[in-house]
Amino acid sequence: MIEKSKLGFVGTGNMGRALIEGLVGQLPSGQITATDIRPEALEGLSALGIRTSTDAADAVRGQDLVVLVLKPQVAAPVLETLAAHFSTRQVVVSLMAGASTARLEELLPAQMPVVRVMPQTLVRVRSAACALCAGRAASAEQVAQVRSLFDLVGTTVEVAESLMDAVTGLSGSGPAWAYTVVEALADGGVRAGLPRETALTLAAQTLLGAARLVLESGEHPAVLRDQVTSPGGTTAAGLHKLEEKGLRDALISAVLAAAARSAELGQS
């Protein structure tokens, strides 16, 4: 039961803090311990009822889930110093891009249950698309426990670990694709005469609403697009221009380039 689980965060930088902020109000704050070697990273969290510490061991001892939100390159030395504090009744939840469950299992005590998650900072507004995969010692129940944690801050899918690079290319880097599209649409609105703030509101809300309709209606996006494209109309003229400029090709290429880079970083 995730509602009763105690969570310890090793690392409270951009991603760790975003997740903690998304969980506040969803779980009792007293169940969360945030640790970071930088005291300034912990500022303001005590006021939210979160326990804070600059000793990462406090994120391990006595916790049910230990959430690793470090840069992958410091994982090995940090886990070495923490090894004595782990127990195999705990679950290690790694949010570190490119760190495979096999690699983490090598760094952790034998038989340690590990669940690897590719999150998004959108957890902060409880609208993230997260993907997870299980290590060798994680039971179905433990995976479900981690999944229910991330379901508190968005939608979660389980994938084979071999698909984690593809997930990184699509949803891991995806917020950056979306911000670029929102900005470019707003620029178009400004070019057409709208005030900047109005253009940004219209652009962002249009993407939010269109995404919700895809998820809630279950309709294919092409069907929904056809419903708003009248013959010879304004939208048809704009769509023709998007084809001419290669928007789809650009987005597909961005996902593939990010997935390839993720695979490359995972090797190093």
Ligand X SMILES: NC(=O)c1ccc[n+]([C@@H]2O[C@H](COP(=O)([O-])OP(=O)(O)OC[C@H]3O[C@@H](n4cnc5c(N)ncnc54)[C@H](OP(=O)(O)O)[C@@H]3O)[C@@H](O)[C@H]2O)c1
Where along the sequence are the contacts to ligand X (CB under 6 A)? 10-11, 13-16, 35-38, 41, 56, 69-72, 74, 78, 95-97, 119, 121, 172
CA dist 193 and 195 (Å) reads 7
Q: How far apart are the first and last CA of the chain?
A: 37
The residue (of 8 and 113) whose beta carbon lies closer to ligand X is 8
Contact 148, 2 (CB under 8 A): yes
Give the residue closest to ligand X by C-beta. Answer: 13
Those residues with Cβ within 8 angstroms of residue 266's Cβ, 6 or more apart along the chain or in another chain:
98, 99, 100, 165
CA dist 90 and 61 (Å) reads 10
The residue (of 112 and 131) whose beta carbon lies closer to ligand X is 131
Q: How many whole angstroms from its chain centre is CA 61?
A: 25
Residue 65 Cβ vs ligand X, minimum distance, rounded to whole Å? 16
Residue 37 Cβ vs ligand X, minimum distance, rounded to whole Å? 4
Residue 90 Cβ vs ligand X, minimum distance, rounded to whole Å? 17
Instruction: Please provide residue 53's backbone torsions phi and psi, each rounded to the nearest 5 degrees.
Output: -160, 150
For residue 198, what are its two tokens?
Answer: 């109005």
The residue (of 16 and 113) whose beta carbon lies closer to ligand X is 16
Residue 122 Cβ vs ligand X, minimum distance, rounded to whole Å? 9
The residue (of 14 and 217) whose beta carbon lies closer to ligand X is 14
Residue 5 Cβ vs ligand X, minimum distance, rounded to whole Å? 20
The residue (of 56 and 134) whose beta carbon lies closer to ligand X is 56
Task: Please choose, from the candidates 182, 167, 50, 188, the residue with its C-alpha nearest in 3D space to the C-alpha of residue 116.
Answer: 167
Element (H, E) at 91: strand 91-94
Q: How many CB atoms lie within 10 A of CB 217?
A: 10
The residue (of 57 and 214) whose beta carbon lies closer to ligand X is 57
Pair type for strands 7-10 and 65-68:
parallel
| CA 67 vs CA 6, 32, 63, 220, 238: distances in Å | 11, 10, 10, 36, 45
Residue 212 Cβ vs ligand X, minimum distance, rounded to whole Å? 22
The residue (of 119 and 169) whose beta carbon lies closer to ligand X is 119
Residue 12 Cβ vs ligand X, minimum distance, rounded to whole Å? 6
